């Protein structure tokens, strides 16, 4: 029930954030009856306009001017006894909303799990349960000859030991639930409910090694001493693939728990989560809360509530887990810190790695960033003395690094006048020969290509037109399994045409996707067990976990996949990795294209040779001289990082500048362009008088100029510090309220990509 306004003597004033896309904080009257119940971060219901909205209590507000008091409205009801967002998370979100220029109320809402984002009270999320039917000793199936359905259900129960899940009985006997209820009425069956205990899928668990390597032990010693000392302590753990970084994380978290502290572990993608969670749950059991979007809403809410009640002290999840209410936070770990997936690309566009460091600093906790190929931003922080570096230079058990070899496609499959209109095989003779040998020995293969689908575009032989998405400025991708053409930006799909829509000419299928690689492998190795791991094949968390577990159990011989196969997995049976086309990301119009190519190639190569057998990596490329490919083949990360840093510094790109991008999109091309120019003009007027090294780039069409039917323009602004960008970004922000409904504008601070 909403509280009504009462006299000022009986009230105090408080600041609230509303879960609406509105900047600023709002002052409400708070009756004395509610004053002692308020806690920062608490969800409340607020009257707003003609309706009620979700709000968050922030702090007491200063006394407003006397003429304003009569206009203030009284807050509504408090929706919970304990604040959903802890004070440290509220502080972090205040920083994030300001830094990334996003409404505070919307930022607070974005940090909540499903079920808590509405202005409603939320019940405790009960754990999932399984209902069992149990046959009692007096049950007599022979006495049920005139009730054949009951006799069948009871006989089934007795045959499986007298107890079975009701769902299981239902699969065997139609209408079993009603039948079992009748048996319950006879006094021959009772029902029981048990909580679902989530175990570790076979193949994903790993035992605690009896002994650490010397480098691991040295790293653990330094890190645990930092935890004991208390205070903010940032570290980079730079370890080659297979050097045991995850075991260092586990020992560090183990030490933190022993000291009564909580731990937060971030991984870049859901694809990494099953195996990492398997290791954490093997070590810590039910002390691990899992947080990512592929979970059921009820599961995410339950884990959140367990953390908030301090029943669980370890949170493992993707980027949004940076806001998890971990009690008494002592350790923050960011695995694969270089990964671009840590950047949120919609709504609150935060960089989770950076917020993890901010959160650790605010909590006086230790933060550990782990990677075999650290980002240039992290390397620059190390160079400036902000982070301390720990190194793992050798693989566990002194296993050798994989042998790297180039397959020059210009030599292996040269184009001739006769073959130019035909797409050549994906796998070179060298790759096929290596696969024959590996499969003959009973070992496993990973084939990597960072493109989904079968053919990435269809081209008419007669008129030369390619089949494009009607809503986006991109070609449609053929998906052979569904015989459909799909757009990977807006999900538009259409049946595959028999010929060119423009002239009815024959269509050439060009470009390569994972489905085509899979088809080639099945044709070349008909007896091999082949699976594909991409967004199409692993559409759910369950399917993803099962694929990874089956590969870990060596029930799959060849795994074909996108970057989902590249990151963090530990499969001892893999002795051959083939990068089917290393050039795919080099030509992207992005200043980070070279860095991302090097990171991805190194990560996927690191999946080979992690067991007793030595590993081999084949890198197929048309562009072997490209620096990321050449340096990766030479295993020269330091040389690549130094050369890339010099190039970025000369061009004043991050990490040697601060960058923000303003993106404008709309259905009308002319109107969108006019507003982009108007916003750019205002930003230019707000540049510092001396410019202070600030540059305004644009407005210009975005690299992909049309997505989902909307024209896209962008303006980039960069300078030596975030402070000098404040003027032009504030000018852009001030224009947001003037935009017509058909125009959308977003401000992306510290963008991960320029696309």
- Quick: pLDDT tens for 682-724: 999 999 887 778 999 989 998 888 888 899 999 999 999 999 9
pTM of the model: 0.84
What is the secondary structure of 586-618 as a DSSP string? TTSSSTTHHHHHHHHHHHHHTTSS-SSS--EEE
Beta bridge partner(s), residue 45: 54
CB contact at 8 A, 531 and 556:
yes
Q: At residue 450, does pLDDT exceed 90?
A: no
**What is the average pLDDT score of the chain?**
87
In the chain, list all ranges with CATH 1.10.10: 129-195
Query: Any idea which fold 8-110 has?
Result: GIY-YIG endonuclease (3.40.1440)
Q: At residue 359, does pLDDT exceed 70?
A: yes
Q: What is the widest separation between alpha-carbon atoms in the chain?
A: 97
Query: CA-CA distance, 444 to 569, in Å (whole number)?
Result: 14
- Residue 566, Ramachandran bin (φ over 0: left; ψ between -120 and 50: alpha; else beta): alpha
pLDDT of amino acid 157? 87
Residue 266: name the closest of 379, 368, 382, 374 by CA: 368
Continuous segment of H or E residues that includes residue 264: strand 262-266
In the chain, list all ranges with CATH 3.40.50.300: 214-396, 403-452+515-648
- Asked if omega into 206 is within 30° of 0 (cis), the reply is no
pLDDT of amino acid 452? 66
pLDDT of amino acid 1? 26
pLDDT of amino acid 414? 62
In the chain, list all ranges with CATH 3.40.1440.60: 8-110
pLDDT of amino acid 63? 87
In the chain, list all ranges with CATH 3.30.70.600: 658-749
Which range has the top average pLDDT, 280-294, 438-452, 527-541?
438-452
Where does the pLDDT of residue 644 fall: very low under 50, low under 70, confident under 90, or very high at 90 and above?
A: very high
What is the homologous superfamily of the domain 214-396 according to CATH?
Answer: P-loop containing nucleotide triphosphate hydrolases (3.40.50.300)
Query: CA-CA distance, 76 to 34, in Å (whole number)?
Result: 10
**What does the pLDDT average to over 412-424?**
61
Query: CA-CA distance, 405 to 430, in Å (whole number)?
Result: 10
pLDDT of amino acid 162? 87
**And the tokens for 170?**
């239902």
Share of the chain above pLDDT 70, in %: 92
pLDDT of amino acid 515? 87
Residue 365: name the closest of 378, 374, 356 by CA: 356
CB contact at 8 A, 294 and 361:
no
**What does the pLDDT average to over 22-50?**
91
Q: What is the pLDDT of residues 139-191, one digit of tens each?
A: 887 788 788 888 888 888 888 888 888 888 887 777 888 889 999 998 989 99
Beta-strand relationship, 444-448 and 574-579: parallel
Q: At residue 731, does pLDDT exceed 50?
A: yes
Q: At residue 480, does pLDDT exceed 80?
A: no
Q: Which CATH class is domain 403-452+515-648?
A: alpha beta
Where does the pLDDT of residue 568 fall: very low under 50, low under 70, confident under 90, or very high at 90 and above?
A: low
Beta-strand relationship, 507-510 and 530-533: unpaired
pLDDT of amino acid 271? 62
Q: Which CATH class is domain 129-195?
A: mainly alpha
Q: Give the orientation angle of helix 637-651 with respect to helix 593-605, to 10 degrees.
A: 170
Q: At residue 341, does pLDDT exceed 80?
A: yes
Q: At residue 469, does pLDDT exceed 90?
A: no
Integer CA distances (angstroms), 71 to 22, 147, 658, 696, in order = 20, 73, 42, 43
Q: Which CATH class is domain 658-749?
A: alpha beta
Where does the pLDDT of residue 559 fall: very low under 50, low under 70, confident under 90, or very high at 90 and above?
A: very high
Beta-strand relationship, 658-666 and 710-719: antiparallel
pLDDT of amino acid 209? 81
């Amino acid at each position: 029930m909403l509280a009504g306004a009462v006299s000022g003597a009986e009230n105090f004033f408080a600041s609230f954030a509303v879960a609406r896309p509105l900047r600023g904080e709002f002052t409400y009257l708070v009756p004395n009856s509610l004053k002692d119940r308020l806690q920062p971060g608490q969800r409340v219901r607020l009257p707003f306009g003609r309706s009620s909205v979700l709000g968050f209590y922030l702090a007491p507000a200063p006394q407003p001017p006397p003429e304003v008091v009569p206009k203030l409205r009284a807050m509504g009801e408090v929706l919970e006894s304990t604040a959903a967002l802890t004070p440290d998370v509220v502080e972090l979100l205040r920083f994030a909303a300001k830094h990334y220029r996003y409404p505070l109320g919307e930022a607070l809402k974005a940090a909540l799990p499903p079920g808590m984002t509405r202005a409603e009270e939320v019940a405790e999320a009960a754990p999932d349960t399984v209902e069992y039917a149990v046959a009692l000793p007096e049950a007599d199936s022979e006495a049920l000859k005139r009730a054949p359905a009951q006799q069948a259900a009871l006989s089934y129960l007795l045959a499986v030991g007298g107890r079975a899940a009701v769902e299981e009985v239902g699969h065997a006997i139609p209408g079993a639930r009603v039948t079992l209820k009748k048996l319950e009425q006879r006094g021959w069956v009772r029902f029981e409910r048990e909580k679902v205990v989530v175990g570790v899928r076979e193949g994903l668990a790993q035992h605690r090694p009896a002994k650490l390597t010397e480098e691991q032990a040295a790293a653990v010693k330094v890190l645990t001493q930092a935890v004991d000392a208390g205070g903010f302590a940032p570290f980079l753990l730079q370890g080659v693939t297979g050097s045991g970084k995850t075991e260092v994380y586990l020992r560090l978290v183990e030490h933190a728990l022993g000291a009564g502290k909580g731990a937060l572990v971030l991984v870049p993608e859901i694809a990494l989560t099953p195996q990492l969670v398997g290791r954490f749950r093997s070590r810590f059991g039910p002390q691990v809360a899992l947080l990512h979007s592929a979970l059921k809403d009820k599961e995410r809410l339950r884990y959140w509530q367990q953390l908030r009640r301090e029943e669980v002290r370890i949170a493992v999840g993707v980027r949004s887990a940076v806001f998890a209410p971990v009690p008494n936070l002592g350790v923050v770990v960011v695995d694969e810190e270089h990964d671009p997936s840590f950047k949120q690309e919609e709504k609150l566009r935060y960089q989770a790695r950076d917020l993890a460091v901010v959160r650790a600093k605010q909590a006086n906790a230790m933060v550990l960033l782990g990677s075999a190929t650290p980002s240039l931003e992290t390397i620059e922080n190390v160079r400036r003395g902000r982070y301390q570096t720990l190194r793992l230079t050798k693989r566990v058990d002194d296993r050798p690094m994989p042998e790297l070899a180039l397959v020059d496609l210009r030599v292996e499959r040269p184009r001739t006048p006769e073959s130019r209109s035909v797409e050549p095989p994906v796998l070179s003779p060298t790759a096929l020969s290596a696969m024959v040998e590996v499969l003959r020995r009973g070992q496993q293969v990973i084939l990597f290509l960072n493109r989904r689908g079968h053919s990435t575009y269809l081209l008419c032989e007669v008129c030369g037109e390619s089949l494009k998405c009607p809503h986006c400025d991109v070609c449609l991708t053929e998906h052979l399994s569904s015989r459909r053409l799909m757009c990977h930006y807006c999900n538009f799909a259409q049946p595959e045409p028999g010929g060119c829509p423009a002239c009815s000419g024959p269509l050439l299928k060009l470009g390569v996707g994972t489905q085509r690689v899979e088809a080639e492998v099945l044709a070349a190795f008909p007896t091999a067990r082949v699976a594909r791991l991409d967004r199409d094949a692993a559409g759910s968390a369950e399917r993803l976990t099962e694929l990874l577990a089956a590969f870990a159990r060596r029930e799959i011989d060849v795994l074909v996949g996108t970057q989902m196969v590249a990151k963090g997995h530990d499969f001892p049976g893999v002795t051959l990795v083939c990068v089917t086309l290393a050039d795919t990301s080099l030509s992207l119009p992005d200043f980070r294209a070279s860095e991302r190519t090097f990171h991805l190639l190194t990560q996927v190569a690191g999946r080979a040779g992690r067991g007793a057998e030595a590993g081999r990596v084949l890198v197929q490329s048309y562009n072997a001289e490209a620096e990321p490919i050449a340096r990766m083949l030479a295993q020269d990360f330091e040389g690549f990082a130094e050369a890339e840093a010099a190039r970025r510094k000369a061009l004043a790109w991050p990490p040697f500048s601060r960058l923000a991008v303003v993106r404008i999109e709309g259905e009308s091309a002319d109107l969108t362009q006019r507003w982009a120019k108007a916003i750019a003009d205002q930003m230019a007027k707000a540049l510092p008088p001396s410019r202070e090294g600030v540059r305004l780039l644009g407005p210009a069409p975005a690299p992909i100029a049309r997505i989902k039917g909307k024209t896209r323009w962008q303006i980039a602004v960069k300078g030596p510090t975030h402070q000098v960008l404040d003027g032009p970004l504030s000018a852009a922000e001030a224009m947001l309220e003037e935009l017509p409904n058909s125009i959308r504008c977003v401000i992306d601070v510290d963008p991960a990509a320029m696309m």
